[in-house]
Structure 1
Amino acid sequence: MTQETYDLIAIGTGSAASSVITRCAEAGWKIAVIDEREFGGTCALRGCDPKKVLAGAAELIDWNERMQGKGIQGQATINWSELMAFKRTFTESIPRASEDQFKQAGMDTFHGKASFVDEDHIQVGEEVLHGKHILIATGARPAPLEIEGSEHLIYSDDFLDLEQLPDRLVLVGGGYIAFEFAHIAARAGTEVHILHRSEQPLKSFDAELVESLLQKSKEIGIHVHLNAEVKSIRQEGNAYVVHGTRNGADHQWQCGLVVHGAGRVPNVDGLELEKANVSYSKKGITVNEYLQSESNPRVYAAGDVTDTKGLHLTPLAGQESRAVSFHLLEGNQHKPNYKVMPSIVFTVPALGAVGMSTEQAKKEGYEVQVNDMSKWYTYKRTHEKFAMAKVVIDKSTGRILGAHVLGSKTEELINLFAMAIQFNLTIDQLNTMNLAYPTAASDLGSLI
C-alpha cells in the first residue's frame, strides 16, 4: 500500500470534472484522476453523443417517410450493425485520448472504484491517496427498481452497444431515455412498447406537446401503455415476459429485451461518504452555493451527483465544473448559471423546453402565445404534421420568460429562446433582428 499527496483528487472524468482538471493542471497543481469506467464520461461514451448519432438515422427515416409521394420514391431502412459501427467512430478513441491527455498534462491516472478512507484520503485498489482538495464528479446511475427479475433488465449503456435489435422491445419508464430509444428502435423496424406507471410521461414538459408526441409515437407504431406498473420479469428461453398491471388489470408483454428507462439517481454507492463526513440525500451530495460540501469543506461535487437546482444535463455539469475550478484557484466567488436550462428530448420530432412552464405562467398571469406551426412554410415543405410552439411572455416588459417547442427545428428555436431569456431581450429587440430566410429562426417574429 502506498500513499501520496495531491493538490486535487478528481473522481470521475466526464463533463462535471473536465474544467476543474484542465484549469488546475494549467495552474501547476499535482492531480490524481480516478474513474471506475473508461475515461471520458457518460455523455461522450454512453450518453448524449452516441445517442444523437442513432437519433440522426431515425430523423432520416422519418423525413423519407413524410416525403413519399412528394418527390421522393423508395423506402430507406436502417442497417443497425452499420449504424452501430458508425457510432463507434465517435466513441472508440475517447478513452485512450482522454487518458493520454491527462498524462501529458502531468496527472496520475487510476482505474478502479474510489472510496473515502477518511475526510481527505481516497482508496483506489491497493493505493491510498491524500487530497488537499477532492472533487466528486461520479454522475448518475439507473434508479434501482424493486421488480422481481430486475436482473434481466438492460440499461442505456447496453442499448447503445447492441449488435442487433430484437423484433420486440419493452422499455420500463416514460422519461427521456425511454422515448428517445423508442423512436430510434421503431424507425429501425422493432415493435416497441413503453410501460409508464402514471397518467402522463415526460412530466417536465408541456402536457399538450407531450400529447402530440404521443400521437406521433402511436402513428409510427410505438405502443405507449400508461398507468402500467411492472411487477416482474421472467426469462423464457431467448425471450422475456414482463408481468404487471395496466389500469389495475393484470397484463403481460412478451419481448426480446427489456430496457430500463425509469430515471437515474446520484451515483454515490461505494464512495463511503460517511467516512468522509460528506452529507448527502437521495437527491445527491449536499453542497453550498459554491458546490462545496457543507460538512467537509475539502470536498467539492459537480454534475448529476449533487443536490443543486441544476437539471441533470451536460451543459449544467460543465457550468458547475467551471465554477468549481474558479473556487479552487481563486477562492469561492463564482456561482453556476442556473437562470437558463434548456432541455430537449431527441425524439422525432424533438420536444424542448426552456424557462417558465405554461402551467406556472397561467398561475402567475403571464400570456402564453400558442402557435400551431404545421401549416407554416418551414414545416409544410417537409410535410410535418406535428409542429407546435408555446411562448411565455411578460407583456408589461416585453420579455420572454419561457418557450416550449415540438418539431424538427426544436434545437434551433429552443437555443434562440434560451439566449433571449438569458440576456433579457425584449420582443421589440428581437423583432429588429435580421435573420436569414427561409429558416426556422426567421419564424421567431411570428412566434412572439
Structure 2
Amino acid sequence: MTTYDYDVIYIGSGHAANHGALKLVKQGKKVAFVEGDKLGGTCTNYGCDAKLLLDGAFQVLEDVQNFQAAGLKGTPVLEWDKLMAYKHQVIDAFPKLMGQIIPKAGIKIYPGYGSFVDSHTIHVNDETITAENIVIATGQRDSTLPIPGNEFIHNSKDFLDLEQLPDAMIFIGAGLISMELASMMIKAGVDVTIVDIAEHPLTNFYDKYVDKVVDKLQKEGVTFYFNETIKLIEQQNQTYLVTTNSGRTLQADYIFGGTGRIANVEDLGLEELGIKTSARGIVVDDHLRTAQPNIFASGDVIDKRIPKLTPTATYESNYIAKVLLGDESPISYPTVPYTVYTLPRISEIGLSISDAQKNSDRYDIKQVPYGRSYDTKRNMDAELTLVYEKATQHVKGASIYGNDAPGLINILTFIIDKELTTTDLEQIIFGFPDVSYNLLGRI
C-alpha cells in the first residue's frame, strides 16, 4: 500500500479550496495548501470582497441622490484616498489572519506555485509532496487584448489598488466588472467611456433592465461605443490615445480592460497527465474529476456553464469533500442566483425571460413594479419580472431591477428551489414593512 504525505493537497487556497479542506480536516484527513499568491484567493483579496468595500460609499451617494426630491439636501464628498485606505485596512488583514487560522485548523501551507510531477506528486519550490488526492483550485485571471499598447491596460487587481482617481477612464468591454466600476466612477466625477465589441452589454441579463442601466449611466454622463473594437493604444505624455476599428480616437488617463477572464491552467503540467483543458478551463466529469480519477478541479478553473461565482466555488469545494469522504453521488447544482452590482443592481435566477418568451405555450411572464409600493423615493422604477410554469404555477425564473435586488433574489432562490406556491407563502409571516414583505405579497 502506497503511503502519501497527505490525504489531499489543494493547489490554491480560495473559496474553491478552503471550505472543503476544513471539512476534511474535521474528519481526520491530512490536508495541505499550495499557494503562490495571497491566502484566501481572488475573491477575498482582489475581487468581490475588496470591490464591495468600495461600493458601499457609492450606494450611499445613490441613495442621497434619490432622496433629493424628498427633502434631503446636499451631496456627501467622496475622498477616494480615505476610501481606499479603508479597503486596505479591512482586506489586507485577511491573508495574515488566514495564515494563522489555517495552520491552527491542522492544514499545512506551502507558499509557492505548484506543478505536477505525476498524478500524486506536486513540486513546489525545492521540494516534492505527495497526496492520495489532489484538487486544482487555481481560479482565473483577467485576460489581455493582443494589441499594440496592451501594456497600458489595467486590470481589476490594479484598479482595486488605485491610489488616485484619474480625470478620465476608458473601459474596454461592457461586461459585469466594467459596468460595475463605471457605475462607481461616474459618481466620483470621472469622465467615463465604455467601448464594447457587442451591440449590447451584459448579455446574460434581461435586456429590458440592462437598457435601464445603460440609459441611467448615459444620463449621468457615461459615453458608450458599441460594435467597436480597440486596435491600438498609444501613450501621449501623461495620457493615452485609444484607436478603434472605425478610426475613432479616444483619450483618457486610465485604460481598464474588462474583456473577460481566463482559467489559470498553464505551467501545472496538466497536458503531461492527459488532463484536458479548453478556453474555459479544466474538463471534468459529473464528480468534478479530471482524466486522472484522483485529481479534481474546483471553482472558476473548471470548464462549466454554471456561473463562475464565489458561491458556486464554495458549493464545489464542499461537494468534493463529500466525495473524498465516500459520497458517490454526482454533483447536482441547485438554481444559482447572480447579480451585477451596477447602480441600481440587476439580479437573475433560473429560466431567463428571453427563453420564457420563446416558449410562451409553457410559461407565463409577470412584471411587478414593486418600487411603487413602498419606498418610492428610493426605488421608484424598481421592478421584478417572474416566470411561471403554466402547468404547475411554480416560479421558474426571475429578473430584478433595483438596489434591493441582491437580497430579494436570495428569497426567490429559496422559493424556486423548494417549489413554493402562493399558498405556501401565505402560511409564512414576513417582517413588515421590509421590501421583501411587499414583494412576496405579489408573487
Specify the TM-score bucket, using the shorter chain as the normaliser: over 0.9
Counterpart among 383, 388, 396 of residue 391 in structure 2:
396
> 1:118 Cα shift?
2.2
Task: State the alpha-carbon separation in 2 of the partners of residues 413 and 4 from structure 1.
Answer: 47
Deviations 1:366-398 (A, max 9, x none): 1110233443333x132x454222100123212
Matching residue's letter, 1:187? K
Q: Which residue of 2 aligns with 1:50?
A: 50
Contact 1:170–1:193 (8 Å) recurs in 2: yes
Is 1:7–1:132's contact at 8 Å kept on the other side of the alignment?
A: yes
- The residue aligned with 2:358 is 363
Aligned residues: 439
2:307 aligned residue? 311
Extract structure 1 runs of 4+ deviating beyond 6 A: none
TM-score for both structures, normalised by structure 2: 0.95
Contact 1:4–1:128, Cα closer than 8 Å, also in 2: no
Aligned-residue offset at 1:90: 2.2
Identity across aligned pairs (percent)?
A: 32
Contact 1:12 1:34 in 2 (8 A): yes
| In structure 2, C-alpha distance between the alignment counterparts of 1:445 and 1:326, rounded to whole Å | 35
Any gaps of 5 or more consecutive residues in structure 2? none
Cα distance in 1 for residues equivalent to 2:35 and 2:146: 28
2:283 is aligned with 1:286: yes
1:191-270 equivalences under 5 Å are: 191-245=191-245, 249-270=246-267
Contact 2:178/2:258, CA 8 A, preserved across alignment: yes
How far residue 147 of structure 1 moved from its aligned partner, in angstroms, is: 1.8
Aligned to 2:161: 161
Q: How does 1:406-445 map to 2 (within 5 A)?
A: 406-445=401-440
Q: Please give the secondary structure, in 2, of the residue aligned with 1:23.
A: helix
- One-letter amino acid of the structure 2 residue matched with residue 223 of structure 1: T
2-side partners of 1:298 and 1:324: how far apart?
11
| Match of residue 70 from structure 1 | 70
Greater shift after overlay, 201-210 or 102-111? 102-111
Which range moves more in the overlay, 154-163 or 18-27? Answer: 18-27
Per-residue deviation, residues 119-166 of structure 1 (Å, max 9, x unmatched): 222111212222211100011111232222111111101111111110
Q: Is the 8 A contact 1:400 1:424 kept in 2?
A: yes
How many angstroms does 1:334 deviate by? 5.6
Query: Per the alignment, in what secondary structure is the counterpart of residue 5 of structure 2?
Result: strand
| Distance (Å, rounded) in 1 between the aligned partners of 2:198 and 2:81 | 35
**Distance in structure 1 (CA, Å) of the matches to 2:293 and 2:4:** 20
Q: How does 1:144-155 map to 2 (within 5 A)?
A: 144-155=144-155
- The match for 2:185 is 185
C-alpha contact (below 8 Å) 2:374/2:435 kept by paired residues: no
Give me the whole-angstrom Cα distance separating, in 2, the residues matched to 1:166 and 1:279: 42
Match status 1:340 vs 2:296: no
Q: Is residue 328 of structure 1 aligned with residue 329 of structure 2? A: no
Aligned match of 2:84: 84
How far apart are 1:93 and its partner, in Å? 1.2
Shift, 1:29, TM fit: 2.4
In the alignment, structure 1 residue 377 sits paired with structure 2 residue 374:
yes
The amino acid that maps onto 1:407 is: G
**One-letter amino acid of the structure 2 residue matched with residue 75 of structure 1:** T
How far is the alpha carbon of 1:364 from its aligned partner? 2.1
RMSD between aligned residues: 1.7
1:22 and 2:22 matched: yes
Q: Specify every segment of 5 or more residues in structure 1 that has no aligned partner in the other structure, as ranges.
A: none
Distance of 1:60 and 1:444 partners within structure 2 = 23
SS where residue 419 of structure 1 aligns? helix
Matched, 1:274 2:271: yes
Supply the distance in 2 between the matched residues of 1:423 and 1:321 (Cα, whole angstroms): 23
The residue matched to 1:437 in structure 2 has which SS? coil
Q: Note the C-alpha offset of 1:67.
A: 1.8
What secondary structure sits across from 1:296 in the alignment?
coil
SS of 1:250's equivalent?
Answer: coil
Q: CA 1:27–1:339 in structure 2 vs 1: closer, same or farther (change >3 Å)?
A: closer
- Letter aligned with residue 277 of structure 1: G
Deviation per CA, 1:262-288, whole angstroms, max 9, x where unpaired? 111211122121122222211211111
